[in-house]
A and B are shown apart, each in its own frame.
Chain A
């Protein structure tokens, strides 16, 4: 089993009647149907292979970061065995006893517990858990199971929001410590890291990280404004909305480009009737969705969420730069879903960059001369085209520099690099055949390998 950047464990008492449904909701949010995203595991019923009455042990040394969600309600709170288990887990979360006892010798991953208060008695869990900041989803009331079950969708939505934000912070911070990938996502990691230290550094608080809201004014600003207002009222992000965000007297295009290339970590593209025909909007998406290489040599594309808000009856053009970006049809009051989806996509990209980095290190000793390009998004024709061309230019540029250096040192001229064969290694278990065939037809000289296909089995 390979080490992964992060894993989620959902813990609930086996007698809690809606625990499995909530766990399934968490699974479905963090793990897409085509097996993208973060692995989610369940811990509830006792392990039939053991006699301690507890769920199976969590293999904490298999992930850099173990995110443990505890669904706290009376059944769990009153169960002595669970209390003891959770106490131990909370007390020893940095160096779990389980791992030491197992004597595996491998370094246990970092463990972070997220108790979720699903009932007013949740806070009566033992001290070490009680000391943690609970997630309290809206709409729990007094925690009546029947009431919760009636509006389970609303509870799940709210829980997804809270967990996404919480995970984004920790995941990015911890993964940064592990591999420190720079680039756009690297900056997001730094920002999340800084959040934890905010209280003590209020005087020189770092600037907030921005979400770029790309929209066409001609179609009105209500959607973009609603999202912007949500960002300011409910999150710790900031938004680049329009020219009003540019200080007077500064060069318009320069500030805009800087915001797109350096300041913004993610983009919401409000795809309204005239969006695709506005040159500035096209320019924004074009600049923002260009692949960039981080300092670990992983090619990254920042997350874009397309919010579809066409009014109907108007014919517009599709935009190739959207690639495989998630698309959400706009509905009033869906601002939270927009930002959660964007944040989740950002988590996935960051996660994929980290997995790519792990695989790159694993493969470094095997056939090190093989050409490999690692990307952190599900490949699309335009993105792939750009990344391959940029990679080739970089290779030739490096070679030309080596040639000049050799000439100066009066050494033998290095051979021109061979640009093929080339493996492009992309996230997830693999594409559907139709996607794969379409890309293979377009790039016949390139081998497209999923992380799973590229990763050597132990």
Chain B
């Protein structure tokens, strides 16, 4: 038994925001421009991105709104209606409400009746967790259709007021600023069916490897900036005190970040060794990260080991759509398909590395025609 991705959709809020406008939207912390901005923006190479907040910091689209818009775009291309959906699997790193789950909010607005529901929580890989749960539900025969929605609204956490409340420039360093210039908003959706329909993607396999047992947290919200303080955000008497301690800032430990490349390679080598993955027959490689992050020694070793996917097979829209966390691979696959880059019979390998506490997901697809 397998499942097929019979439609995809995406939603990116507002106009494309160029590098020079990023700080106009997110705002100047204490009225002063960031000193680290240029360096971080240059290294991540993102040219345009989208935000669901306007220049006054007001939210223009909720996370639920964006997820629903992507789902509607996905359903629009399919003869199926919302009422036909058997399972709704949703992912985000931050819902509009901490409770209930994000899936409930998306279902409410989409108006799907009596659906089997799943809300996956995590960071970049939560979208593939939701997708795999939907894929398995179809494989088991419990449902014939599943809608998978992955959406992120990071910009609300990146507003200048957040940093001011946590002590302003004095408290900001590379770790606290890195993601401010990296993340942006957007949503993607996929419709899964147990039978192929028209030109669609067969899911050949999905696998993931998590390494939280061996690594500390690398990307997080919840711990105060002071490493000696072992409390997490809800341990503070008030949320105000947690915010003042920097516990609500989204941060990245850059020293640990390089492990993401090695672990991405490690997972691929495991799949090669067990015979699941054959690098030679991959037609397209869609990765949340671009090839330049893999340059260096590991790249050289992969080349020598015959395990490198040639650069002309790599595809990413990270530079024009931004890093939208768990929505990225959905937005990427949608654009890739709409651009007509794949031919019938070609294979697509998707890789989603999550730096939170190191989880890497892989998905192998084949373009088929029913």
- The answer to whether A and B come from one shared complex is no
